Amino acid sequence: MASPLEQALGVMVSTFHKYSGKEGDKYKLNKAELKELLTKELPVCRSKQMDEAELQKILSDLDANQDSEVDFQEYACCLACLAMGFNDFFLDQRQKVPRKK
């Protein structure tokens, strides 16, 4: 039986491959695939309509090798940054809640 962390890693990998390769290179996300992944898998992206300029900015920020696609390493770096942001958010929330005595 896989641990929760192993399961989470599996979900991370399978989610990438669920969207990559629908068009073109099956090991990379093009702009349309990236948009679909973001809007379907991250509700925060769904909550506000992402215009073309915002999507292009996200793609440019993720695309370290500037090939106009997001490979798995670039995707993993994105998830790591999101995880750090979530961690910061939850730390801030904890500090706002008064401690029980």
Higher pLDDT, 99 or 14: 14
Residue 101: per-residue pLDDT: 63
86 contacts 62 by C-beta, under 8 angstroms:
no
Give Dmax over CA atoms of the chain in angstroms.
59
Give Cβ neighbours of residue 67 (< 8 Å, ≥ 6 apart): 28
- Structural domain count, the chain: 1
CATH of the domain at 49: 1.10.238.10
For residue range 9-58, list pLDDT tens digits in order: 999 999 999 999 899 999 999 999 998 998 899 877 665 667 788 888 88
Ranges of beta strands (E only) in 1-101 are 28-29, 70-71
Name the residue range of residue 33's domain.
4-96
For residue range 84-94, list pLDDT tens digits in order: 888 888 887 77
Cα dihedral sign, 61-26-35-90? negative
